[in-house]
Amino acid sequence: MAITSFPFQSITNDRQYSDLDFANYFAQFFKNGVAVGVGTGLQVKPSNPVGMTVLVGTGGALVNGRQLTNTADHTVTLTAASTTAARVDSVVVQLNLPLRQVSIVYKEGVITVQRDTNIYELQLATITVPQNAATISAANITDKRADTTVCGYSTPFTEVNLQSLQDQYQAMLDEAFTTVQTGMNADATTLKTLLTNQQTTFNTWFAGLRDTLTTNVEANLQAQIDLLDADTLLTTITHNLNSYPHVRALSWTHGIGLTGLGNEPIGLFGGSNVKTVPCSVEYLNKQSLKVNVSVGKTMVTPTVTKLNTREWLLTEGTNSMQITLMEV
């Protein structure tokens, strides 16, 4: 029968199970080997006092779904040493189906394990018996429990095939990579378009700037120089402060009295906003000084009106300037 199921209640003996059914059941969950963490793990060690015997410690083992349990040290007596040569013996856990048992077996002069339809062995240790030896020490015992070729440890699910999980995970990674790559390509296209548009905008702006800079560049440059060089005489002020005061110059256009009401340019009713004017001062003495401004701000023949001991108003045409002598 290719498919079997187990276990179910037997009705009129229609469900009968053998030891093989149970052995196959346990074999699906536990691999062959010495049980981990049970007793001393069937460790083989010298007897105490030492002699031609060894002890197999407490522990358990599982062999093809059948179990061995050892709850006390088990003594194994070795054959007497040869007088002509050394030999190597072994101690195994042996499943013997014809005898229907799992037991600890001593094998003189044999270091191989038997595994066939009737016998299956797990090698616990090999023992070197020197020529004419009378005792066996720990140095003569080689622990084979960790050697998976002859024994190993019984653990659940130790040989789970993860290839299918790996294939599924790889497929997920590939799909995620493709999605990210597609998104990156789309983003790259969008970025390229954005950069192209920005480049076009910059080129247009720069072309306009270049035209502006190259149109009447000498006149523009001279105007900037005129604003920076305040070395043209505006007026001479005589005062009685007997000091060297700081000077502030303010200017505006179309002030009241200079332009008829209603004749001001649009937005300049009552005059333009007042602005400071860069100026330099030449002190003639403590009672007089010269005020210099840039060429663009000077007046040819201004009307000068003294407002008080510190302020003078200069007007010419629609232009006005106020000179204030500040306290030092």
The reported pLDDT for the residue numbered 290 is 93
User: What is the residue-level pLDDT of the chain in tens, covering all 328 positions?
Assistant: 577 766 767 788 877 766 777 667 666 667 889 988 889 999 999 998 999 999 999 999 999 888 899 999 999 999 999 999 999 999 999 999 999 999 999 999 999 999 999 999 999 999 999 999 999 999 999 999 999 999 999 877 555 455 555 666 677 777 877 777 777 777 777 777 777 777 777 767 766 666 665 555 555 555 555 555 678 888 999 999 999 999 999 988 877 666 555 555 555 555 678 888 888 999 999 999 999 988 778 888 888 999 999 999 998 888 889 999 998 7
Cα–Cα nearest to 274, from 249, 254, 251: 251
The reported pLDDT for the residue numbered 288 is 94
The reported pLDDT for the residue numbered 270 is 59
* 34 torsion bin: left (phi>0), alpha (psi -120 to 50), beta (else): beta
> Number of C-alpha atoms within 13 angstroms, CB side, residue 97?
13
List strand residue ranges (DSSP E) for the chain, in order: 33-35, 44-46, 53-56, 59-63, 66-70, 74-77, 87-96, 101-107, 119-129, 141-143, 153-154, 232-238, 246-253, 275-276, 279-285, 288-293, 303-306, 311-316, 319-326
Is the domain covering 31-154 a CATH 2.40.30 domain? no
The reported pLDDT for the residue numbered 166 is 62
Distance from C-alpha of 9 to C-alpha of 191, rounded to nearest angstrom: 72
Distance from C-alpha of 119 to C-alpha of 113, rounded to nearest angstrom: 9
Per CATH, the number for 223-326 is 2.60.40.3320
Domain ranges of the chain: 31-154, 223-326
The reported pLDDT for the residue numbered 182 is 76
Cα–Cα nearest to 144, from 95, 104, 111: 111
CB 298, CB 233: distance < 8 Å: yes
Q: How wide is the angle at C-alpha 288 spanned by C-alphas 287 and 289, nearest 5°? A: 140
Residue written as tokens 């256009």? 253
The reported pLDDT for the residue numbered 159 is 53
The reported pLDDT for the residue numbered 56 is 96
The reported pLDDT for the residue numbered 226 is 53
Distance from C-alpha of 27 to C-alpha of 159, rounded to nearest angstrom: 12
Distance from C-alpha of 317 to C-alpha of 255, rounded to nearest angstrom: 10
- Cα 266 to the center of its chain, rounded Å: 64
CA distances from 298 to 36, 82, 234, 276, 317 (A): 107, 133, 5, 14, 12
Distance from C-alpha of 65 to C-alpha of 22, rounded to nearest angstrom: 7
Helix (H) or strand (E) holding 203: helix 163-214
